[in-house]
Structure 1
Amino acid sequence: MPLLRRRARTEPQAPPRAIAAAAMPMSGPGVLRASRARKQTSNQDWQREGWYYFDVIGELRGPLVWIANAVSQADVHATELDPETGKPTGPSDNPMAKAAAAQVLGGAARRGGLLRVLALCWQVPGEAWVIVKPTPKRRGQPQPDEWIVLPPSKVKAKGSGDNARWEYTDPMTGADVALEPSARLFRIWCPHPADYIQADSAVRPALPICREVEKASQNIAGRLDSRLASAGLLALADDLDFPKGEHETTAMAFMDELLAAAETGIQQPGTAAAVVPLVFNAPGELIANGGAAAFIDTATEFVTSVVELRDNALARLAATLDMPRDVAAGTQGESNHWSAWQVEESTYKIFIEPLLKEIGDAITQEWFRPALVAMGMDADQAEAYEIGWDTTAIVARPDDTENLRDLHDRLLISDEYMLTENGVPEDARPDDAEYTKRLLEKLVTGAPSLLSDPNVARAMGVEVTVAPAATGVSGEVTGGELEAPAQPEQRALPATQGAEPAPADVPDGLVAAAELLVFDALSRAGGRLITRENRGQHNDTPKWELHTVIATADPGALLRDSFQFSDRVADAYGINSVALDAVLLAYTRSLLADGRAHDRDLLTARLRLMDRRR
């Protein structure tokens, strides 16, 4: 819907902040004063020349369009400013601010095209005019304002005195249209450092270089079109003895024969006629002196260096334009893998962000905040909002997969961060059961004897029946706890009952080291269990026992990145590190799942059942 119906101010005023934009009076004496202030006539010559070279020099047009297309991918949103720092805090949730921002530059449908025109005007003439016109109601319903972006030559001051007004060239019809008082007109420009009101651009200092490129190209094109420059001259001596035939002179007869031979060689390149030399008679002294026929090359040293001169001029042009060298030279596709208009973050920060910032500040000052006030927001409150940009579609960082994988393997970043940086959705993460099963599959692949542990087999969904003598197990594992059998198991040879060797005892040092690993894992899990809701409620409970007072929903997630020193413990005691990892993981998971505290005897029993062979 139209947001601004009021008449713009009648006198040009300096903007309250350093923003390259100013609203213009719609009619009256202020129109001519604003027009004289920008000194339009003195600017038109170099601006017109800039557009000319934009049209005729592809090496200039290509990089400018590349930058403009990158800018056109930006999306707009309303952002709220921090009252203390004045810096934007991100997209705002204010419905009024969001509704106004959605209409900026004609809405989502037209915003990309208008941003592209703005970016090109910023780089070539250094200024652009933005017109916001209220649209008549349709079927009684308000319509969004119409936005128009024009180069400076398409907006002119007309009339004099109180009848002075602005006229612009309609981009759709090409007709000159008087700007109605209900519209809003403002200028966005790149100010010249020596004269702030005057426009400056990246193309302006490149104009002399563009003239060199054009003249060199014209020289090359002219010589390519000239038979004289491309073929040279062939001088024939009058003393040649060659049949004249129907020709007036011997030279003319020889030339006719030479051209016929050349035509035969072109039409029949695979025949002897294409390589057999042309034979003619000449006095011996002429042949000895090399004077029977002479080829005169009309090319000069300067002509042969024109291409080199043009290449040097193009290199200077690439260095002059306000953009990365590889973009200006048209080689950005050779040095990166980004998509068509994506740029690396440093390029965006240096070359594109300043342009978007100027455009955003101009629209904020000259339209967005007045629109918020027109919608009913208090003027002081409107000052807390501005136009921000979403540059997700523009900025592409280099592929850091290898660096991220290295940091993840060294336990310096979390699984959640790894997934986010690689663009993996959260619902792609395996659930607790699948994670445990896949982890145990890897462990069992390295140590198949782990299947003798009923907990491991059960977690993998495998039923394994192992003879007691093979496992050395004198009891059963039920519900995560070791229970003694109700009665001694009968053997085939009663005489040997009770004589089999007892399981090897676990060294006290191994138990102590395993306990430290368990306490570390439980402490990590306890830290992850603390949330905003329960923070400060269990200050008397050690972190490694928080799982006994806080419900645990995902033990697997709580234990990620734990037991990173288990391989060193295994090496110190000469045992299987994979088996030790599996026992510690299964034991700690059972504590978290059941909400039980650590039990040294139970851990020792688990370690005793572990296959310690390397």
Structure 2
Amino acid sequence: MTTPGRALTAASSRYVARKIRGKGAGTDQSWQVRAWQMYRTVPEVRFAAGWIGNAMSGALLYAGRRADDGTIERAPDNHRASEILAQIAGGPGQAKMLGTFGRHLTVAGEGWIVVRPNADVLSPDSPEDGHDWRVLSVREVRPQSGKLIAEIDGEEVAIPEGDAENLDPDAPVAIRVWEADPERAIEADSPVRSSLDLLEELQLLNAAVKAIARSRLTGRGILLVPKGTRFPTPGTQGDAEDDLIEILMTVAETAIKDPESAAATVPIVLEVPADTISDFKLLTFESDFDELALKLREEAVRRFATGLEIPAEILLGMGDVNYWGQWALTEEAIRLGIEPKLGTVAFALTQQWLRPLLEAEGVEDWHRWPVWFDSSPLRVRGNRSETALQAYDRGGQQMSTTSGGTTVWRCSIAEA
């Protein structure tokens, strides 16, 4: 028996004529295009979305019955709600579906589910008498001339308008799933949306750091040598002198093509009149911005991490956090970042798939059966013996006894 942790701000809708027209009026999707660009070009965005997606894929969906007190009890395996739930995404495909939605909801805050009878599609991942399930991004679904066009496997598939009053369980279905924006619920929201300007700043800083690295490869500066006013030239050139710009360009090209060459590690030698300098002098091309760019980039990454719905340490690293702290942070990430998104997907499957089918089949209490999730597999601790050893290292005593072939660890923390 489980109790939902908090009210959901999720939203979902089937594609019917009146709803698609409503969505198309005044909604802004331009930021979602920018968000997906950041996913492709900023590794921190990809890592955060991938972490959330991978975590969501480890959860389990199940059909339940909502009691009067709000608790949800798991439905019997032979109940029609459980049978419908087992067929979602072909059963084993539910993990992949949840993982994909983890990325969509983190980046764009929105995704689509397109369900088609497999008799028409003949997908090998689903039974022939079942359905083919696809999760698509907002860039793969668009309204066009009163219809909904979905791009699936490189082909455009037209989704017919559904009848809101008489839904056909065997007709193709398009379900929009999104995290509702608190200001305008018809629009989607995501943690990446509020960080778009910051991420563009991070891209500029990445470019600056890249330019700094390249500048390091163009040479190690100019070494001034007090003698003559010419460049040393190969013996084959006689008394000829090389042009300064040509020398610099040649060294830069060589260093970039072959970072391990001498041109990338030693300075250019320039001979100048002895009366102009008293000793050898090295001129470098470094600036104060070099170190500042690295600090600004680190700060931008940290700000992006704090703007996510999971603890910043997940992105920044937990190298300085002990075992117990890591466990607590992971627990917090599951509770604040993973479970709400699982609830969003469960809400959509409840409202737009399970309950409409139960109602169409004449199940009397169809409105009491939701799709829910079990996140306990995400909380399984890996190595319990390691837990005991770390407790012992903190000042405890360990004793091991074997009972029935099982080693039992006991720790008593010593007094401070």
Q: Does 1:392 align with 2:376?
A: yes
Q: Does 1:103 align with 2:111?
A: no
Q: Does 1:373 align with 2:380?
A: no
Relative to 1, partners in 2 of residues 1:35 and 1:243: Cα closer, same or farther, differing over 3 Å? closer
Of 308, 318, 321, the residue aligned with 2:305 is: 318
Q: Equivalences for 1:357-368 in 2 at 5 Å?
A: 357-368=343-354
Determine the C-alpha separation between the residues in 2 that align with 1:142 and 1:228.
60
Q: Does 1:36 align with 2:39?
A: no
* 2:49 aligned residue: 64
Which residue type is aligned with residue 122 of structure 1? Answer: L
> Retained in 1: the 8 A contact 2:119–2:130?
no
- Secondary structure at 2:150's aligned position in 1? strand
* 2:159 aligned residue: 179
Determine the C-alpha separation between the residues in 2 that align with 1:328 and 1:151.
24
TM-fit CA distance, 1:229 = 5.6
* 1:130 aligned residue: 113
Q: Equivalences for 1:72-471 in 2 at 5 Å?
A: 72-82=57-67, 84-104=68-88, 106-136=89-119, 143-159=129-145, 164-170=146-152, 172=153, 174-181=154-161, 182-226=171-215, 230-235=219-224, 239=228, 246-249=237-240, 283=274, 285-286=275-276, 288=278, 290=279, 294-331=281-318, 335-336=322-323, 344-378=330-364, 381-396=365-380
Q: Deviations over 1:181-208 (max 9, x none)?
A: 5222221111111111111101011112
Q: TM-score, normalised by structure 2?
A: 0.73
> Retained in 2: the 8 A contact 1:77–1:388?
yes
> Retained in 1: the 8 A contact 2:53–2:103?
yes
Which residue type is aligned with residue 36 of structure 2? Answer: W
> Retained in 2: the 8 A contact 1:343–1:394?
no
* 2:12 aligned residue: 21
Determine the C-alpha separation between the residues in 2 that align with 1:133 and 1:243.
76
Determine the C-alpha separation between the residues in 2 that align with 1:185 and 1:242.
72
Q: Equivalences for 1:531-542 in 2 at 5 Å?
A: none
Relative to 1, partners in 2 of residues 1:201 and 1:267: Cα closer, same or farther, differing over 3 Å? closer
- Secondary structure at 1:192's aligned position in 2? coil
Relative to 1, partners in 2 of residues 1:56 and 1:231: Cα closer, same or farther, differing over 3 Å? same
Which residue type is aligned with residue 365 of structure 1? Answer: Q
Which residue type is aligned with residue 24 of structure 2? Answer: R
Determine the C-alpha separation between the residues in 2 that align with 1:281 and 1:195.
70
> Retained in 2: the 8 A contact 1:241–1:282?
no
Instruction: Provide the identity percentage.
Output: 24
Determine the C-alpha separation between the residues in 1 that align with 2:33 and 2:74.
40
Q: Deviations over 1:86-137 (max 9, x none)?
A: 2212344552121011012x13321111111111111111111112222328
> Retained in 1: the 8 A contact 2:221–2:282?
yes
Which residue type is aligned with residue 194 of structure 1? Answer: E
> Retained in 1: the 8 A contact 2:305–2:312?
yes
Q: Structure 2: which 5+ runs fail to align?
A: 1-7, 162-170, 252-259, 263-268, 393-401, 406-416
Q: Deviations over 1:358-396 (max 9, x none)?
A: 211111111111122234412xx1112111212232123
> Retained in 2: the 8 A contact 1:315–1:329?
yes
Relative to 1, partners in 2 of residues 1:228 and 1:396: Cα closer, same or farther, differing over 3 Å? closer
Determine the C-alpha separation between the residues in 1 that align with 2:11 and 2:100.
17
Which residue type is aligned with residue 65 of structure 1? Answer: G
> Retained in 2: the 8 A contact 1:122–1:128?
yes
TM-fit CA distance, 1:301 = 0.5
TM-fit CA distance, 1:250 = 6.6
> Retained in 2: the 8 A contact 1:79–1:91?
yes
Which residue type is aligned with residue 62 of structure 1? Answer: F
> Retained in 1: the 8 A contact 2:309–2:333?
no
TM-fit CA distance, 1:33 = 1.7
Relative to 1, partners in 2 of residues 1:251 and 1:377: Cα closer, same or farther, differing over 3 Å? closer
Determine the C-alpha separation between the residues in 1 that align with 2:328 and 2:97.
19
- Size of the alignment, in residue pairs? 355
* 1:588 aligned residue: none
| Bigger CA radius of gyration | 1
Which residue type is aligned with residue 192 of structure 2? Answer: V
Determine the C-alpha separation between the residues in 2 that align with 1:393 and 1:342.
16
TM-fit CA distance, 1:224 = 2.4
Which residue type is aligned with residue 191 of structure 1? Answer: A
Structure ranking higher in helix proportion:
1
Of 21, 32, 35, the residue aligned with 1:50 is: 35
Which residue type is aligned with residue 169 of structure 1? Answer: E
Relative to 1, partners in 2 of residues 1:57 and 1:333: Cα closer, same or farther, differing over 3 Å? farther
- Secondary structure at 1:136's aligned position in 2? helix
Determine the C-alpha separation between the residues in 1 that align with 2:112 and 2:261.
61
- Secondary structure at 2:302's aligned position in 1? helix
> Retained in 2: the 8 A contact 1:63–1:330?
no
- Secondary structure at 1:196's aligned position in 2? coil
* 2:164 aligned residue: none
Determine the C-alpha separation between the residues in 2 that align with 1:300 and 1:322.
37
Which residue type is aligned with residue 121 of structure 1? Answer: H
Q: TM-score, normalised by structure 1?
A: 0.51
- Secondary structure at 1:377's aligned position in 2? coil
Which residue type is aligned with residue 24 of structure 1? Answer: Y
Determine the C-alpha separation between the residues in 1 that align with 2:181 and 2:261.
63
TM-fit CA distance, 1:282 = 6.5
Which residue type is aligned with residue 22 of structure 2? Answer: A
Which residue type is aligned with residue 360 of structure 1? Answer: A
Determine the C-alpha separation between the residues in 2 that align with 1:225 and 1:72.
41
Greater relative contact order, per chain length (Cα 8 Å cut-off, separation 6+): 2
- Secondary structure at 1:128's aligned position in 2? strand
Determine the C-alpha separation between the residues in 2 that align with 1:87 and 1:152.
34
Q: Deviations over 1:418-472 (max 9, x none)?
A: xxxxxxxxxx975xxx9xxxxxxxxxxxxxxxxxxxxxxxxxxxxxxxxxxxxxx
Q: Deviations over 1:269-328 (max 9, x none)?
A: xxxxxxxxx9x9964x4453x4xx643222210123211111111111111111111112
Q: Equivalences for 1:578-589 in 2 at 5 Å?
A: none
> Retained in 2: the 8 A contact 1:76–1:388?
yes
Determine the C-alpha separation between the residues in 1 that align with 2:173 and 2:94.
18
Relative to 1, partners in 2 of residues 1:390 and 1:237: Cα closer, same or farther, differing over 3 Å? same
Relative to 1, partners in 2 of residues 1:135 and 1:67: Cα closer, same or farther, differing over 3 Å? same
Relative to 1, partners in 2 of residues 1:178 and 1:250: Cα closer, same or farther, differing over 3 Å? closer
- Secondary structure at 2:191's aligned position in 1? coil
- Secondary structure at 1:200's aligned position in 2? coil
TM-fit CA distance, 1:355 = 1.1
TM-fit CA distance, 1:225 = 2.7
Q: Equivalences for 1:551-590 in 2 at 5 Å?
A: none
